Amino acid sequence: MKHFKYLFTFLLLNISLGAHGCDVCGCSISGLQFGILPQFQKNFLGVRYGTKSFQTLHPPVFSTDKLTTSNEHFQNLDLWGRIVLSERIQMFGFIPYNTVVKKENGELFKQNGLGDISMIAMYAIINQRKSSLLPIIQNLQVGGGIKLPTGSHDVFTSDGTYVPGAQLGSGSFDILANLNYIIKYQDFGLSIESSYRYNLTNNLNFRFGNRFTNAAKLFYKIDFSKVVLMPNMGFSIEKSFQDNHEGLNLDLSGGKGFYGQVGIDIFTSNMTFGIQFQPIIYENIAHGNITSNNRFTVQSMYIF
């Protein structure tokens, strides 16, 4: 693997796949992030909702063509959970339900349904270890898994255009790798997370670019006995490789972005609730042809 391109969106140059193709578009299929997880040695089941949107410029292919724009809106509702198998081994599962809306030249393209299911196993190299010298607690998990091609990936628009970035799934088996590290000093803490996805080619001979995401977040615990508040702030750096079709890289694809993260988590003995806002600090997606809006996520978990 030569270079890493760390992700935010999969920006695609749509080529002809037995039909017409558009030039560039955003994508709803993203990497997996865990965030600040509650009660390390307990199982949980949760739901997470996220939304993001893009404005896309479509450069003219021929001199007779005109520059056009489109708007894409993606919503993801994930059912996800954790099963603790042993003191150091945990399994995570993600079942997404996606909604994709694309508007261009007065035409509306919309689809919703099951996305790509993912499973990840994590191993705790450092398991809630307390230091004998300082009042700090550390936890380090590494692991990997697989993303299954359960979401539809071959839906065409009414005029026969195939839009890879607006599909519910990638159509490929993909390999996942994750690293999570948390260090706490009294009521302060730092969470660092990295995720990488190695994508394979689907049955349409299309391959989404590999992607890598780094995120760091500072948090502070405010304990009200039965309720704990945890405000947090940080950033994420995301890039992606170019997409590939029939062995050729697509020029108007791939990119990088730097995003802020501001949120708060609320913990009780068996429930959590959290919201997160991600403003754009810097991005260069598809050579500037795609501009994304700020992102928003809300989630809740039941701990047992």
At 247, list the tokens. 């062995």
Q: Is residue 267 part of a domain?
A: yes
Residue 208 included in any domain? yes
**Pick from 100, 6, 109, 118: which is nearest to 52 by CA?**
100
In order along its 304 residues, the chain shows pLDDT tens digits of 444 333 323 333 332 333 333 345 444 345 567 878 778 789 999 999 999 999 988 777 676 777 788 899 999 999 999 999 999 999 999 999 999 998 887 788 899 999 999 999 999 999 877 767 778 999 999 999 999 999 998 887 777 777 777 889 999 999 999 999 999 998 999 999 999 999 999 998 999 999 999 999 999 999 998 999 999 999 999 999 999 988 899 888 889 999 999 999 999 989 999 999 999 999 998 888 888 899 999 999 999 9
How many distinct structural domains can be found in the chain? 1
In this prediction, residue 21 carries a pLDDT of 36
Residue 15 is assigned to a structural domain of this protein: no
Residue 267 tokens read as: 């913990």
CA distance 41 to 241: 36
Q: Does the residue 92 lie in any domain?
A: yes
The residues, any chain, with a CB within 8 Å of residue 148's CB and separated by 6 or more, are: 116, 117, 118, 119, 173
CA distance 94 to 254: 25
Residue 161, domain member (yes or no): yes
Q: In the numeric block, which tokens belong to residue 149? A: 């091609």
Rounded CA separation 27/62 (Å): 25
State the residue range of the domain holding 197: 20-303
Structure tokens at 46: 């949760």
The answer to whether residue 5 sits within a structural domain is no
Contact status, residue 243 vs residue 5, Cβ threshold 8 Å: no
Spatial contact of 253 and 284, defined as CB atoms under 8 Å apart: no
> Does residue 211 contact residue 7 with C-beta atoms inside 8 Å?
yes
Residue 7 lies in a domain: no
Task: Kindly report the CATH number assigned to the domain that includes residue 181.
Answer: 2.40.160.40
pLDDT value at residue 1: 47
Query: Given this model, what pLDDT does residue 251 score?
Result: 84
Q: Which of 243, 90, 264, 244 has its CA nearest to residue 178?
A: 90
In a domain, 2, yes or no: no
| Structure confidence at residue 250 (pLDDT) | 86
pTM, 2 dp: 0.84
